[in-house]
Chain A
Amino acid sequence: MSLLEIRNLSVEFTTAYGQFRAVDAVDLDVDQGDVVAIVGESGSGKSVAMLALMGLLPWTAKVQADRLSFDGKDLTSLEPKQRRRIIGKDMAMIFQEPMTSLNPCFTVGFQITEAMKVHLGGTRAERRRRAVELLDQVGIPEPETRLSAFPHQMSGGMNQRVMIAMSIACNPRLLIADEPTTALDVTIQAQILELLLSLQRDRGMALVLITHDMGVVAETAQRVMVQYAGQQVERRDVVGLFSTPAHPYTAALLDALPERSRGKRLPSIPGVVPGQLDRPDGCLFNPRCRFATDLCRSRPPGRGSPEQGAALCHYPLQGGEPSGYPPDLLDQLRRQAAEEARSA
């Protein structure tokens, strides 16, 4: 039994224009010690899915799942009070914006010890000692004096370290990091990632890393879920994903990495993730997909085999070419590729 088991999770918001499905049939299994990355562009429902798991979405969100269990407990059937015993204790989350995610009115020490007070109890002195330990572990110099500092007196990177210290205060078994480095300087990003990974290794906790940076995925994760417009379009181990991406979206994301680029210009994916009002028929990626056919534009694709990354695609890629593709179109594709190779 996995530590975290999500089956067919969907989240819908009621908006002025009707229902909007932000997360669509997402599955996820995370075991103790796993590092799983969820990647995708902004608006692909990565954060929403994890916020739904944490129970942090506003009441306007309708969360449904066939199974949503953590450590054998079914989260959907738990009373809010029982669920809060898990949240912040066994399952913790850190957020994208460290500067706004900490309460400006309270000291760092207060905010770190707060979760301990609620979940673990203990004396004030014990909690304080533990807070100092935690700050030390996350690499904050002079932890004792920092306890009485306010968030606005520290930098973004320091604040994110405080957030991390806060989230691991009760020794969680699962840590969800929602784009923890996006708002930070590039030089700090690597430090924070390294910190998260070393904490994960030392404590054997599971880590779910939400990111839109494929480079981060390559360095950190064992498994990857690629999410697009609320759907998981591909899910597999990181090595397979980088060597033979099966979904055209994954392939396009990888092509957009500067270090993998071969041509003069860095390729990009035209367009944006569809929103509520421009949701296409058929495959949700078809307006931006260079392999899209009439079939893609009319019928939603089924899931492929696990070897093909369970790709949600009519023509999952094999060796860079779509499999099961109409022969005439395939010829055209090959001619194009040859031409491009010549001109490059």
Chain B
Amino acid sequence: MFRFIVTRIGLLIPTFFGVTIAAFSFIRLLPGDPILLLAGERGIDDERHAQLMAQFGFDLPIWQQYLNYLGDIIQGDLGRSIVTKQPVLEEFLALFPATLELSICAMFFAVALGLPAGVIAGVTRGSKFDHTVMAVSLTGYSMPIFWWALLLIVVFSGELGWTPVSGRISYLYFFEPVTGFMLIDSLLSGEKGAFASAISHLILPSIALGTIPLAVIARQTRSAMLEVLGEDYVRTARAKGLPPSRVVGLHALRNALIPVITVIGLSVGVLLAGAILTETIFSWPGIGKWMVDSIFRRDYQSVQGGLLLIAVIVMTVNLIVDVLYGLINPRIRHTR
């Protein structure tokens, strides 16, 4: 098991370098001059422009810029935003809990609904429930997040008035962030109603963000379940006289979870990408919104740093998934 984990970590190193190249070049492929954007409408004279370009190192040949960037990263320095002058890592870490909180809630929503729905659909294959789950999940998967999010706001916030439109918590409450997670902070603050307010703000964004993973998980669980239910060992389990709940919930599900875990791991990438849209629509102060703003400002350092950090997070999650695999499926654990 130890060797298995070490091998997986070793595989991450080349991926990491690939990501640095991607993060470095994507923002530079976009047209637009960061210094001009920084100067704003008044413009900037050529001399000052050249001076600033030299200051940020943008006048160097592109490969030299990359090597400088790589050298900084290896020393753990992601640079400073050219707009706010704050260290990128600091800005990222300040905003990341908001995104993490949203992503966890969205994933919880997706798994809590998608897994049972997929299992039941698989077991009752061809039933009305099965057809409904498949139809709903296909619809959910096909819906653009921004449109789905707006629809949710229009119906539940606008028409019904059940949930707030945007933000993380009502303006009535204010307290210093301790953990950065609003749900925890609101509880710690001891203010009445703060926690309820935080939850009500989380509901719509979580649904909007969790819908696509939900659809993918439900469909994957269903097909994995169908496959596993036809296996000989499921027949053996039934031949022992075990109740159906145990046959399905233990013998079949344990095996069906293997592909489902993969999908959940891959969904984390989708989730962070989806967070950009969701956060923008719900004015959620997370890294998604920050990334969008940085891209519009051609804030090279922030975009590079943010992309890299997001990629590292996705890679870490997938590493965890790989390890989980080994725990669930002994055949993988032992083959190394």
Contact = CB atoms under 8 A, between A and B. Distances in A.
Interface in B315-336: 328-331, 334
Nearest to B243: A84
A115 B240 contact: yes
A152 interface: yes
Interface string B145-169: 0000000000000000000000000
B255 A118 contact: no
A150 B335 CA distance: 12
Contact of B330 (A54, A87, A150, A167): A150
Contacts of B283: none
A106 B241 contact: no
A27 B236 CA distance: 25
Interface in B283-336: 328-331, 334
Contact of A89 (B238, B241, B331): B241
Interface in B214-264: 231-233, 235-243, 246, 251, 254-255
A105 B233 CA distance: 10
A166 B237 CA distance: 11
Q: Which of B233, B240, B330 has the most CB of A within 10 A?
A: B240
Contacts of B255: 103-105
A312 interface: no
Contacts of A152: 330-331, 334
Contacts, number: 75
A276 B46 CA distance: 87
A202 B242 CA distance: 27
A106 B329 CA distance: 9
A100 B243 contact: no
Interface of B is mostly: helix
Contacts of A81: 243
A150 B334 contact: yes
Pairs A-B, 10 closest by C-beta atoms: A88-B241, A88-B240, A87-B241, A103-B233, A100-B232, A84-B241, A115-B240, A101-B232, A150-B330, A105-B254
Contacts of B231: 100
A102 B243 contact: no
Nearest to B255: A105
28 contacts: A56-B235, A56-B238, A81-B243, A84-B241, A84-B242, A86-B241, A87-B240, A88-B239, A88-B241, A92-B239, A95-B235, A95-B236, A100-B232, A101-B232, A102-B236, A103-B236, A103-B254, A105-B254, A106-B251, A115-B242, A118-B240, A118-B241, A150-B334, A152-B331, A163-B236, A166-B236, A166-B240, A167-B239
Contacts of B246: 118
Contacts of A103: 233, 236-237, 251, 254-255
Interface in A148-188: 150, 152-153, 163, 166-167
Given A88-B240, A103-B236, A103-B255, 14 more contacts: A84-B243, A87-B240, A93-B239, A95-B235, A95-B236, A95-B239, A101-B236, A103-B233, A103-B237, A105-B255, A118-B240, A118-B241, A118-B246, A152-B334
